[in-house]
Every structure is written in C-alpha cells, then in structure tokens.
Amino acid sequence: MRNTFVIAGKEFSDLVRSNVMVVALAVYCMLLLYEYYDSYNVINNNLLQFGVVGPVDDPAISPGSLVSVLCGYGGLVAVVLGLSSMYYEVSNRAINTLMVKPVYRDVILNGKLLGAVFFAFCIFVFTVLVNISLNFVFWGEHFSRAFPAFLGRLPVVLVSYMLVFMMFYLLTVLMFLLFHRSSLAFFLAFIAWIFLYEVVPSGFSPSLASFFPNSEQMGWVISCLSPKGMLSLIFDRAADGVGAFSANILEFFKLMLYVGALLISCYIVFLRRDVS
Amino acid sequence: MRAIIVAGYEFRSTMRNPLVLVSIILLLAISVISAYGFTLNAFSSNQGQGTSLLSVFMTSLGGNAYEISSIFLILSVCLGVFSIVEERHGGTLGVLISKPVYRRDVILGKFIGLSGFLLMAISLVLAIRVSTALILHPMPAWSFTEIFARIASLGASLFLYCVVMLGISMMVGVLFKNIALAIALSATIVYVEWFTPLLAPLNILNPKILYLHYLWGRHDNNFIFSVSSPYLAWLSSVFPYFILLAAEAIIVLLIDCVLFSREEA
C-alpha cells in the first residue's frame, strides 16, 4: 500500500509541475467567465424586456456552467494528461526503472490512477472556487441566500466530473499501452472524445439508428449511451444531494460501467504487455 | 525544389503512419452510415408528400457534413503538431535542419506533404460518399456538372479549412518544445475554436466560422446542397469566405516559415 501512495505522490507532483496544468486552469477560468458573462447578459435582457428571469433554472444555483466546463473541456484535459503522463514515463525510461523494482505492475498502475484522481479533485476544487467567486460577483446577495442549495448540488457534479475525467484518462492510457505511439493514442482518444461528446449526441445518432427497426427510439437510446447524453439526463432532473443520485442511478451506473471496463482493460494490457 | 523532396518524404511517412489507416476507416464508415441514414430518414419523413429524388440525393450527400468536418479537423491538428514535436523529440528534425536545405524548405515541404495527404483523404471520403448515394438511389435528372461542382466546392473548402488548422497546429509545434504543452495547446485550440463561442469577437478571422458560412451561407439559409438555389447563385454569395480561408492558409504558412527559420539546430 505504501508503494502505491509513493507512486501516486510522484504522479501527482509530476502533474502539478506540468505546464499543462497552467494551460488547463487558465482555460477553465476563461470558459467559466465567458459562460457567466453570457448567461448574465441573457437573464438581464429577459428581466429588462419581460420583467421575468424566463424559463431557466435559478442562475445562482444552476450547475450548468460548471458541468459544461468541467465535463466538456475536462474530458479533453484528461486525454492530454493521460498521454503526457505515459509518454514521459516511457520516453524517459522511468517506467523501466520502476518495473525492475520489487513492486507489482498493478501497484504502478494503481499509483498512477490515484495520482490522477487527486489531481482531478484539485482541478475540481479550483474550478468550484472560481465558480463561487463568479457567482458572488454576478449575483451578490441572491447567491448568498442560494448558497446552501448550490452546495447541495456539488456532490452530483463532483461524481459526474470524476467519472468523465477517469473515463477519458483511462482511455488514453489504454490507447498508449496498446499502440505505443503517442500520435495514434492522442488521435484515438481525441476522436473518442469528439465522438462521445459531439458526433453521437448531435447529428450522427439518427443516421446510426436508421439501421435498426424503430429507429426514432433507437436514436434516442444511442444518444443516451454517450456521456454527454447521460450528463444532460442527470442535470435535467437533478435535485440536490441523495435525491439526485437515486433519481439518476441508471445514468451513474452506465458511466461507472464505462470506467470499470476501461480500468479492467488497462490492468490486463499493462500486466500482459511489454510497455518499454 | 528541395521543399518538394521534403514534401515527398513527409507524404510517404504519413502514409505509413497507422493513424492514417484508422482515420480513413473511421471516416469511410461514417460517410457510408450517414449517406444511408440520411437517405432512409429523408424518405420516411417525406412519405406521401411527393419526395423529390433530387432533394433526397442531395441530402444524402450533405448529411453529417459538420461531424465529418470535425473529424478532419482533429486529423489535421494531430498530423500538424506531431509532425514537428515527434521529429524534434526523436532527433530527426535536428538531422534534417543540419542538411544543406533552407529551413523554410523543411517547413514548406512538411506542409505540402501533409496537405497532399489531406487532399487525398478528403477526395477519397467524398468519392465514397457519392458512390454510396448513387448505389442507394439512381442519379437524379439534374445537371451532372451542377452536382459535381457542389461536391468539388465542399471538398475545396474542407481542404482549405484543414490546411489552415494544419498550419496553426504546426505553428504550435514550432513554438513549444515541450510535447505535453504543444499537445495541450493544440487540443485547447480545437476546443475553443470548434466548441465554444469564445472567439466570437474575431469571427471574421475564425476559420471555423468562415468554413461554416461558406457551407451554410451567412444566415444558415443557403446550404451548399440545397436544391432551391442554383450553384452559381450559391457560389457568388459565399465566395468571399473561400477567399478569406485561402488568404488565412497562406498567412499561416508564411508565419510558420518565419518562426521555423529561427529554430535552433
């Protein structure tokens, strides 16, 4: 167990020291700021024109901006981090050094994953803090009253984000372990991300569904199999706290299934293949 | 002349890259599925309303153009950034620039070689698309030249868009020597450019917006495969976007040449 934490600590410090983190955090801030500015303008226009906020969720407690930034761009950050962590280990021969030490291979993988999870959690905390600051800046007193409700929704956001992050991180690690080429691993993981986030939920699911009988329902089922579809279902009917988990148990189960399948594949490939 | 030699080498090495095989298979699969799906959906949604064969044919040609473009975008960015950073990391870039060739020839050769590959891939995907549409239903009674001109215009604009993004990703590869940072920045550029409206103040320069305006018209009402407007009318309304995309491609290439000429051996 101690070895796992040592490797996790090293992985975490590598990720924190990486330049990628600076880029990722800067883009998170920019995207959040833009989302807030945009929604603030829309809601203000509605207030001026119609005297109502409009058919939108309470802006101060809605996790919409947070989810779209964390799970959308966060998936891509996971791809880049997964690739860079494996690439440097292999190209610097650090992984060879690690493998000749008296540690099991699964301990190496566990350590790396644990380090990535800690790192993802730190990104989450940072983004939530920025989000809270922006909420106070844009909504002021209104947000102070809605703050407990906002906090109640954070566990759902955290679990969704961690699952999406781990899914794309594991996918990239798996691709690298399978093909040993950084360009191919990055391309495949990036394609998987764009497929699951953009292509399938938008225009491609009706085309794919036309191969099946009852194609209209099938199109909906296919789009619900993508993480974006699952997230939109989760946050369309998101209540707070435990209620949100019980209402969306199937969606969380599907996301966990993806992560579990990728995790098992990573273990199998890492234990059985030559990674040097 | 030396740029052509480098281009030939780059083209051959790209063709040997497994990434190419994977991307071509994926794009062809999406093309066939889209053409088939759009044909079936167009027939079923217009049942009993006298579906025009021409409109179904054109729909199956243009369906999922946005999704296919996004995959070509990723392919261009990956090829562009890895053509520089992988060679630099492997040491072959150092060997290449120590040879008696101008640095601008190296970057120009890489750019031409990768662009040649992209042109070939786009032509192949569009050819498969047309073949699938022709297999699914007979050629409509419409001018063949008109149909061919529209397909060629789609290919030309997609090629120009991919070339601009290829140049931008090569620029990232030239500027940033850290491979992780170069990849992160390329991915961020794709995300910000394709998925967010963050670049809205620069829309007139944003290659994605120029490309989409070219395909769909400025107000999304003049799609390239729409049968309601004649080809020349469509072309005259979107031609400025094509010129802007071409100008951007040239400017990006020139910037790449200037930046790469400062590369240390």
ipTM value: 0.83
Tell me: the pLDDT tens digits for B151-178?
A: 898 899 999 999 999 999 999 998 988 8
* Mean of pLDDT over chain A: 80
pLDDT at A54: 47
Q: Do B19 and A181 touch (CB under 8 A)?
A: yes
Q: Do B41 and A18 touch (CB under 8 A)?
A: no
Q: Distance, in angstroms, between A155 CA and closest chain B CA?
A: 26
Other CB atoms within 10 A of residue B122 CB: 22
| Cβ-based neighbours of B34, under 8 Å, separated by 6 or more | A204, A207, B60, B63, B64, B67, B68, B129
Q: Which residues of chain B neighbour A21 with C-beta distances below 8 Å?
A: none
- The residue of chain B nearest to residue A206, with distances taken between CA atoms, is B37
Domain holding B55, by residue range, is 2-262
Q: Distance, in angstroms, between A202 CA and closest chain B CA?
A: 9
Tell me: the pLDDT tens digits for A176-198?
A: 888 888 888 888 898 888 888 87
Tell me: the pLDDT tens digits for A231-270?
A: 887 877 655 666 777 777 888 888 899 999 999 999 898 8
Select the residue of B66, B178, B184 nearest A203 (Cβ to Cβ). B66
Select the residue of A19, A84, A207 nearest B33 (Cβ to Cβ). A207
Instruction: Tell me which residue of B54, B189, B40, B252 sits closest to A214, measured CA to CA.
Output: B40
Structure tokens given for B106: 């190296």
Other CB atoms within 10 A of residue A22 CB: 11
Q: Distance, in angstroms, between B225 CA and closest chain A CA?
A: 17
What's the rounded Cα separation, in Å, for the pair A132 and B212? Answer: 36
| Cβ-based neighbours of B264, under 8 Å, separated by 6 or more | none
The fraction of chain B above a pLDDT of 70, given in percent, is: 89
**For residue A92, what is the DSSP state?**
T
For the packed helices B65-90 and B144-175, what is the interaxial angle rounded to 10 degrees?
A: 30
| Cβ-based neighbours of A95, under 8 Å, separated by 6 or more | A89, A108, A275, A276
- The residue of chain B nearest to residue A14, with distances taken between CA atoms, is B180
Q: Which residues of chain B neighbour A215 with C-beta distances below 8 Å?
A: 40-41
Q: Which residues of chain B neighbour A210 with C-beta distances below 8 Å?
A: 36-37, 40-41
What's the CA angle centered on A177, arms A175 and A179, to 5 degrees?
65
pLDDT at B142: 67
Please determine, for residue A55, whether its predicted confidence score (pLDDT) is greater than 70: no
Select the residue of B64, B70, B183 nearest A207 (Cβ to Cβ). B64
pLDDT at A74: 86
Residue carrying structure tokens 């890895």? B82
What's the rounded Cα separation, in Å, for the pair B154 and B37? Answer: 20
Whole-prediction pTM = 0.86
Structure tokens given for B265: 């051996």
- Region A153-165 average pLDDT: 89
**For residue A239, what is the DSSP state?**
-
Q: How many domains does chain B have?
A: 1
pLDDT at A56: 46
Give the B-side interface with A, CB within 8 Å: 17-19, 22-23, 26, 30, 33-34, 36-38, 40-41, 63-64, 66-67, 70-71, 74-75, 78, 82, 86, 89, 178-181, 183-185, 187-188, 190-192, 195-198
Mapping DSSP to helix (H, G, I), strand (E, B) and coil, where does residue B265 land? Answer: coil
Whether A16 has its CB under 8 Å from any CB of chain B: the answer is no
What's the rounded Cα separation, in Å, for the pair A184 and B71? Answer: 14
- Region A90-115 average pLDDT: 77
What's the rounded Cα separation, in Å, for the pair B82 and B104? Answer: 18
Helix H segments across chain A? Answer: 2-17, 19-50, 64-67, 74-91, 94-100, 105-139, 141-179, 182-194, 205-209, 215-224, 227-236, 241-247, 249-272
Q: Are A126 and A28 in contact (CB under 8 A)?
A: yes
Q: Do A191 and B36 touch (CB under 8 A)?
A: no
Residue carrying structure tokens 């890489």? B110
| Cβ-based neighbours of B164, under 8 Å, separated by 6 or more | B207, B245, B248, B249, B252
- Mutation pick from B13, B40, B169 vs chain A, by most beta carbons of A within 10 Å, is B40
Q: Distance, in angstroms, between A246 CA and closest chain B CA?
A: 31
Q: What is the DSSP string of B179-232?
A: HHHHHHHHHHHHHHHHH-STTGGGTTT-HHHHHHHHHH-TTS---TT-TTS-HH
- The residue of chain A nearest to residue B77, with distances taken between CA atoms, is A187
**For residue A203, what is the DSSP state?**
I
What's the rounded Cα separation, in Å, for the pair B92 and A74? Answer: 33
Q: Which residues of chain B neighbour A199 with C-beta distances below 8 Å?
A: 30, 67, 70-71
Q: Do A24 and B22 touch (CB under 8 A)?
A: no
Alpha carbon distance, N-terminus to C-terminus of chain A = 24
- The residue of chain A nearest to residue B186, with distances taken between CA atoms, is A80
